[in-house]
Amino acid sequence: MGEQHTLLGDNLVDLAQVLADDLRPEEALPSVEEAIEIYAHALPPHHEYHHVAASLKGLILYNLGRQEEGLPLLENAHRALYDRFGPSHYLTEDALNRLEQVESRRHAD
C-alpha cells in the first residue's frame, strides 16, 4: 500500500505543478498539500520528495499572496536539495527555478 500512496503523491505533485504553471494556485494548493500528507506517511523522513513538494507548496503559497509562508519553504527546500545532491541535480535545479521566479518578482516590486 505504501508504494501506491507514494505514486499517488507523485501524481498529485505533478497535477499541482501543472495547475501552478497554468496560474491556478488556488486549485494547486490542495493537491500539493495532499501529496505532502501522503509522503509524510509513506516515505522516510529525509526523502527528497518531501523537499520537492515543499518547494512547490512554497511557490503556490507565494502566488496566493502568502509570501511570508511561501518564501521560507522555497529557501529551505532548495538548501536541502542542494546540500544533498549538489547544484547540478535536476531536483535542485527545479527548486532553484521556483526560488528564482519568486526572487525576480520580489525585486521587481
- pLDDT digit string, tens, across residues 41-59: 999 999 999 999 999 999 9
Q: Which residues of the chain have pLDDT under 70?
A: 1-4, 109
Rounded CA-CA distance 25/21 in Å is: 8
State pTM to two decimals. Answer: 0.93
Long-range own/partner contacts, residues 24-28 (CB < 8 A, 24 or more apart) = 25/60, 25/61, 25/63, 25/64, 26/64, 28/56, 28/60
Domains and CATH numbers, the chain: 2-108 (1.25.40.10)
